[in-house]
Amino acid sequence: MTLPEVNRLYPTDDRCRELLERLRWPEGVMCPRCKDSRVSRLKDYARFQCSVCEYQFTVMSGTIFHDSHLPLPIWFLAVLLIVEAKKGMSAMQLKRTLWGEHRGSYKTAWYLCHRIRAAMASAEKAMLYGTIEMDETYVGGRQKSTRGHAGRIPYSESNKIAVIGIKQRGGELRFFKAEDVKSGTLAKYIKENVSEDVDVIMTDELPAYPGALAKAGQSRSKHKTVNHKQKVYVDGDITTNGIESAFSLLKRGIVGSWHKVSAKHLPAYLEEMTFRFNRRGRADLFIDTLRHMVTADPLTFERLTA
């Protein structure tokens, strides 16, 4: 979907709502409260009323769009801009693109971005199989010098956040913000994301991996390692280059687009990055994102900023 196509197909609230209604209720409109399908459309067109419990609702009720006062065409453009930005887009950039330099509020744009991310996070994640590459990296942690000059002190391990990456070769990618990269933590993510029938798991020589695989119930014979310390990056077919290039895309997003990501909101950015990566090249990326927005639960501003 391109910008001119979105403008042509979804120029008004009514046109946007028609699509959202089809995505939310492919089998026909259903009352969100009592799940009955005996509903009638009210005169203002947007609202429905349930004949059983009398609840009045729109396609936006109880979804990511809940309580939003933004015109739907603006929502649609925001979704397109975000799903098409490979390295992500900052809320500030989105604000400038949709409303201009001096109009619109940063807070509105920021909340809008987070609601779209919450929809992305609701997507189902299948277990990975085949050939798996797994790696860990650190993001953030830059501190201003306290010594009064403009320089920055170097990265220190203590204030950086660990991100674990798992990628199926030719398949999907997962990123997780992790407390640490100890074997118990790695094991948890292997267990939750990697099928027991996986063929091979490739990692670097971090000493925690053998224990992690054992704890996750994976056979030792499936583990292949790349020795980065000895500058062996590709040993025949054994490489972690796939997950490493995914990490560099993530870091370019954090440094180049989002500038600064707090530890609290990092999981949301990781969800956005992997959602987009896993659907790259798919013609229905835009529609699929909207589908998640009318099937995911609302994200209130209070919960986001709690």
The distance from CA 134 to its chain's CA centroid, rounded to whole angstroms, is 19
Q: Which of 16, 50, 164, 198 binds Zn ion (CB under 5 A)?
A: 50
Q: Find the shortest distance in angstroms from Cβ 17 to Zn ion.
A: 19
Count of residues near Zn ion by CB under 5 A? 7
* Residue 176, φ and ψ in degrees, nearest 5: -135, 135
Q: Find the shortest distance in angstroms from Cβ 30 to Zn ion.
A: 9
Q: Find the shortest distance in angstroms from Cβ 56 to Zn ion.
A: 10
In 3D space, the residue among 285, 281, 300, 271 whose CA is nearest the CA of residue 125 turns out to be: 271
User: Which CB, 34 or 263, lies closer to Zn ion?
Assistant: 34
Q: Find the shortest distance in angstroms from Cβ 85 to Zn ion.
A: 39
Total residues belonging to the chain: 306
Cα separation, 170 vs 271, in Å, equals 19
Structure tokens at 187: 């094991």
Cα separation, 95 vs 207, in Å, equals 45
Does 3 sit near Zn ion (CB under 5 A)?
no
Tell me which stretch binds Zn ion (CB under 5 A): 27-35, 75-83, 105-113, 239-247: 27-35
Does 34 sit near Zn ion (CB under 5 A)?
yes
**Which run of H or E residues covers position 143?**
strand 143-144
Does 53 sit near Zn ion (CB under 5 A)?
yes
Q: Find the shortest distance in angstroms from Cβ 37 to Zn ion.
A: 9
In 3D space, the residue among 174, 158, 156 whose CA is nearest the CA of residue 166 turns out to be: 174
Does 33 sit near Zn ion (CB under 5 A)?
yes
User: Which CB, 59 or 261, lies closer to Zn ion?
Assistant: 59
The distance from CA 278 to its chain's CA centroid, rounded to whole angstroms, is 10
Does 38 sit near Zn ion (CB under 5 A)?
no
Contacts to Zn ion by CB under 5 A: 31, 33-34, 50, 52-53, 55
